[in-house]
Structure 1
Amino acid sequence: MSTPKVLELDRAGIRRARSHAARLGKPVVAMATSHTTVSVERATLRLAGLSGADHERVPWVNHLVDAVRDQVGIEHGVTTPVWDALRRDEAPDLLTLAQKASAGAVTFQIPEQKGEATRARRAAMAAVRPGIRRIDRQRAARDKQIARLGDPKQRPWIYLIVATGDIYEDIPQAQAAAREGADIIAVIRSTGQSLLDYVPEGATREGFAGTYATQENFRLMRAALDEVGKELGRYIRLVNYASGLCMPEIATLAGLERLDMMLNDSMYGILFRDINPIRTFVDQRFSRQIHARAGIIINTGEDNYLTTADAVDAAHTVTVSQLMNEYFGKEAGLEDWQLGLGHAFEINPDLPDSFRMELAHALLARHLFPNAPLKWMPPTKHMTGDIFKGYLLDGFFNLAGAMTGQSILLVGMMTEAVVTPFLSDRDLALQNVRYVLNSAGGLVEDFHPPRDGFIQTRARHVLGEAIALMDEMSTRPPTRGWSPLLEAIADGTFGHMKRPADQGKGLEGVARKADDYDNPATTLLEEGK
């Protein structure tokens, strides 16, 4: 699908908006690079090959990082004391070390002699490098499969969710959806997993309102989609969630098992899960560095703002968040084609001209980010349980996607407000998408709203409000001593959620880096080695 170039916007204003995004983002990046978290350190140990869990399903990476933190802290990085302990023969290998540490049978230290510290760091680098190399091989394997099987011939890509709670039930549903035309399968994550400060181990069958994100579940679904992709002659993409308290670890596991997209928004966990802002920004930077290396497309969460704030009044906050996600993503190494920035069809359908405003908002996003694979989200807030009206609303959503050149279209369900969708619901939803795209997909070439008409004027208005908000955020006097973006988040600027930087879940897992901090994974990711 071609990208429409039908809006006439103030180019100087767009440049000013991106300049504001950089000004707001730089202090946050400085904060992220000067801190580490327990999840960043656990992700590094996972790259070194540490996996498995005890009889109570507590992962060994948690045991090992907790033991290091209790004895010497994590501000130096955990790899130096861990590989120093291995060099001192505290244990013969990493797994045994973690097991002994869980029983309090290991003494950790920060080597005082420079030579000892250097040798521990070299050993850690040698252990972590194979994990990064495996991510590289998985990216190459994806490219090879796409070259052999091909990508979907049309855009937008059709994105469909499965979420039974049981990975072995998800697999046949995902394969059936691919056979019916889905290009992307998202395994929605079990409710509440974002608040777990550990990653469950193994294949799981008991998720509530979704399926747990685990390495084994990733592996099983990836294999199933590869199988059906060969059958259909096209590559089927797999999505999961790199968010919450274990964002870096889940991103790492996704890279190791060749997932293709990850929900990875810079502020979603802060606003909607009350995760500490500092923890979130530190974790998201590492996770996005992993995504950049793995060739994973991120999906951001701007659609969520419109479920707690009005989609008309708060439209400009979506644009601001998109610009911030773009800045943070590119700073972490993501390219334009990996920036699946979010927006949504959430205006009250009873409002006059609601569809015209939806077109304006969708075109604005498409115009501001012409090379990004935007993720267009279906109506949810105003789905009432009237499945006939819901089916019509989803048809309008699909039509807006066709007219405005969206890249990733999440399939809306007419039973959104009633029940978790059955296979028959998904089949009807896919029929709706196919009908609209087959009959109206070319409208992107013909749709040119008048220069000073309603749609152009609305898009300019939203952009102007976004620039004004970023102006205000950049210049407001700090009242708490935090960076301007953190002040704005604390004030409830996004989604009407007030989240102070000194509160929220996971703050106890954050540490300011010491001068001798070392993390071989970060070094390899930043140096591209």
Structure 2
Amino acid sequence: MTGKLALDPRVVAEARRLAAVAAEPVIELARTHTTVSVERATLRLAGLTGADPASFAEGDAAGGTQPWVNTVVDAVRAQVGLEHGVALPVWHALASGEYADLHELAAKTAAGSVRYTLPTGPDADRAGTAARAAVRAGLGRIDARRRERERLVRELGDPPQPWIYLIVATGDIHEDIPQAQAAAREGADVVAVIRSTGQSLLDYVPEGATRTGYAGTYATQENFRLMRAALDDVSKEVGRYVRLTNYASGLCMPEIAALAGLERLDMMLNDCMYGIIFRDINPRRTFVDQRFSRMVHARAGIVINTGEDNYLTTADAVDAAHTVVVSQLLNERFAHEAGLADGQLGLGHAFEINPALPDSLRMELAHAQLVRELFPAAPLKYMPPTKHMTGNVFGGYLLDGFFNLVGTMTGQSILLVGMMTEGIVTPFLSDRDLALENVRYVLGAAGNLAEDFHPRPEGFIATRGRQVLSEAVELLGRIADDGLLPAIADGTFGITRRPTEGGKGLDGVVEHADGYWNPAVEALEEGMSA
């Protein structure tokens, strides 16, 4: 028996074995299929940026709605298909000498004057050599940004964990920036910019600096650049490296992952289960996209955050506690297969038990300690209460204090700042200041309490932790037998049924033909085995 909960190592090992069995068919699906977004991300890594000027409408909240990568991939798909990948047809067209670069090729494609074909023989070799060089140059830029982050962390200082994680999102990037800088000055170690509502359902990445998002700010390459530069400035001011988070989820998960790597973002929400359950994105589409995006994150040194906390906003946090652990174990397996290290696995969970339930705090301690012991090297992300925030700001402030206490007692790595105005209004700066004061007080008063927290082996907390793990193993056994996609279709996670052939984006999935080739996948997989 090990740890504070006296977990049986054999049970833990069995849980991981079953998770690997359950994950393997989905991993094989991702290895043998591509999507329109994977192919577009490949072109982005090769340097194709911008959008067709004709697609910009005056007052358009999301910038150009026809990025050049969409134009090219759509044309290749229509003319020769994507089952061999986009790279060979595109660089074969460039080899004709009629186009100066990818941007001119894209513009001519939009005008209808490019005919794509799939090269063979020496023509395919020449196209492949050129495509490989272009994509690897893009990955080289991501490598340089990773080294830049590592240098800045050394020079500016890395804040001790738990990192204090705070959300901003006004819809206007130029309003987000001063709010993010103010948050850093008040103690935030990680700033997350929430995306505009519904962006995950757009099958293109908007362009430019945007000012009219809805309940969030559009994720664009320019917005990433502006916010990263602003946080670099305030990092120098406060004497610690302030991390930036955004969202690589939805129909453009691979592309946003590539842009995040190019602009030196530090964390990305990256969990296709969230998109399946809460955005009705097709499971096949998003599992394929997730593998590519996680390979990019692994290369970029980005910490991923997963979305298990969201299950508890729809399902009961006690009854469904084991589904969180099951999803975390599956996410761990998917992440490792894509090359992510344990130190990049920001697995999510949450303080969402009904506070009116007797012993709710002890159960929260049991659940949080279980996750900590199952994933000792992972930078766990712990989410504050939302479901049971009633509008009573005084009660909410107290509940957030208990959340902060559980987080520090169980050694969580990332604490998302809870807002007492949750569910009432978008927080004011003053609300954030009070919330940060709550976190600072608890960390200052009880920051080392974990060393004195030792539940009795046969007491309530340890017994509850072992019970949740046992239930997780039982569920993993059923999923290993019946399949993960059927389990999702049956509503196992978040009590929401999502059929394998349903949801948005299925038409963007393509099975590999013999000879499929993608220079980005090739390079990323080589990096995983190096």
Fold equivalence (TM over 0.5): yes
Quote the Cα distance in structure 2 between the aligned partners of 1:442 and 1:85: 62
Q: 1:380 aligns with which of 371, 386, 411?
A: 386
2:295 counterpart letter in structure 1: Q
Counterparts in 2 of 1:217-232, with a 5 A limit?
A: 217-232=223-238
Counterparts in 2 of 1:8-19, with a 5 A limit?
A: 8-19=6-17
Counterpart in the other structure of 1:53: 51
Does residue 147 in structure 1 map to residue 154 in structure 2? Answer: yes
Does residue 22 in structure 1 map to residue 28 in structure 2? Answer: no
Does residue 194 in structure 1 map to residue 200 in structure 2? Answer: yes
Quote the Cα distance in structure 1 between the aligned partners of 2:477 and 2:176: 46
Q: 2:400 aligns with which of 394, 400, 409?
A: 394
Quote the Cα distance in structure 2 between the aligned partners of 1:130 and 1:466: 44
Counterpart in the other structure of 2:412: 406
Tell me the CA shift for residue 90 of structure 1.
Answer: 4.4
Counterpart in the other structure of 2:78: 70
Tell me the CA shift for residue 139 of structure 1.
Answer: 0.3
Quote the Cα distance in structure 2 between the aligned partners of 1:384 and 1:163: 23
Tell me the CA shift for residue 5 of structure 1.
Answer: 3.5
Counterpart in the other structure of 1:317: 323
Q: 2:344 aligns with which of 332, 335, 338?
A: 338
Quote the Cα distance in structure 1 between the aligned partners of 2:123 and 2:52: 31
- What are the Cα deviations for residues 261-295 of structure 1, in whole angstroms up to 9, with x where unaligned? 00001311111111010101100000000000000
Q: 1:95 aligns with which of 75, 100, 103?
A: 103
Does residue 278 in structure 1 map to residue 276 in structure 2? Answer: no
- What are the Cα deviations for residues 358-381 of structure 1, in whole angstroms up to 9, with x where unaligned? 000000000000000000000000
Counterpart in the other structure of 1:32: 30
- What are the Cα deviations for residues 411-456 of structure 1, in whole angstroms up to 9, with x where unaligned? 0000001011010000000000000000011100101011100000
Does residue 354 in structure 1 map to residue 354 in structure 2? Answer: no
Does residue 126 in structure 1 map to residue 133 in structure 2? Answer: yes
Paired residues of 2:280 and 2:498 also in contact (CA < 8 A): yes
Paired residues of 2:385 and 2:418 also in contact (CA < 8 A): yes
Tell me the CA shift for residue 91 of structure 1.
Answer: 2.2
Quote the Cα distance in structure 2 between the aligned partners of 1:118 and 1:155: 50
Quote the Cα distance in structure 2 between the aligned partners of 1:129 and 1:97: 20
Paired residues of 2:157 and 2:240 also in contact (CA < 8 A): yes
Tell me the CA shift for residue 21 of structure 1.
Answer: 0.6
Tell me the CA shift for residue 103 of structure 1.
Answer: 2.1
Does residue 507 in structure 1 map to residue 515 in structure 2? Answer: no
Aligned positions, number: 517
Paired residues of 1:266 and 1:325 also in contact (CA < 8 A): no
Quote the Cα distance in structure 2 between the aligned partners of 1:274 and 1:266: 10
The list of structure 1 runs, each at least 4 consecutive aligned residues, that deviate by more than 6 angstroms after superposition, is none
- What are the Cα deviations for residues 44-68 of structure 1, in whole angstroms up to 9, with x where unaligned? 0001110111232110100110000
Quote the Cα distance in structure 1 between the aligned partners of 2:79 and 2:502: 25
Q: Where does structure 2 lack aligned partners over 5 or more consecutive residues?
A: 56-63
Q: SS in structure 2 opposite 1:343? A: strand
Counterpart in the other structure of 2:495: 496
Tell me the CA shift for residue 475 of structure 1.
Answer: 2.3
TM-score with structure 2 length normalisation? Answer: 0.97
Moved more, 4-13 or 81-90: 4-13
Paired residues of 1:187 and 1:239 also in contact (CA < 8 A): yes
- % of aligned pairs identical? 71
2:303 counterpart letter in structure 1: I
1:512 counterpart letter in structure 2: E
TM-align CA RMSD: 0.9
Quote the Cα distance in structure 1 between the aligned partners of 2:521 and 2:161: 35
Tell me the CA shift for residue 8 of structure 1.
Answer: 0.3
1:97 counterpart letter in structure 2: L
Q: SS in structure 1 opposite 2:122? A: helix
Paired residues of 1:90 and 1:106 also in contact (CA < 8 A): no
Paired residues of 1:376 and 1:410 also in contact (CA < 8 A): yes
Counterpart in the other structure of 1:481: none
1:520 counterpart letter in structure 2: P
Quote the Cα distance in structure 2 between the aligned partners of 1:471 and 1:329: 20
Q: 2:88 aligns with which of 80, 84, 98?
A: 80
Counterpart in the other structure of 1:431: 437
Q: Where does structure 1 lack aligned partners over 5 or more consecutive residues?
A: 477-483
Quote the Cα distance in structure 2 between the aligned partners of 1:377 and 1:176: 22
Counterpart in the other structure of 1:136: 143
Paired residues of 1:297 and 1:337 also in contact (CA < 8 A): yes
Tell me the CA shift for residue 142 of structure 1.
Answer: 0.3
Quote the Cα distance in structure 2 between the aligned partners of 1:475 and 1:332: 23
Quote the Cα distance in structure 1 between the aligned partners of 2:449 and 2:3: 13
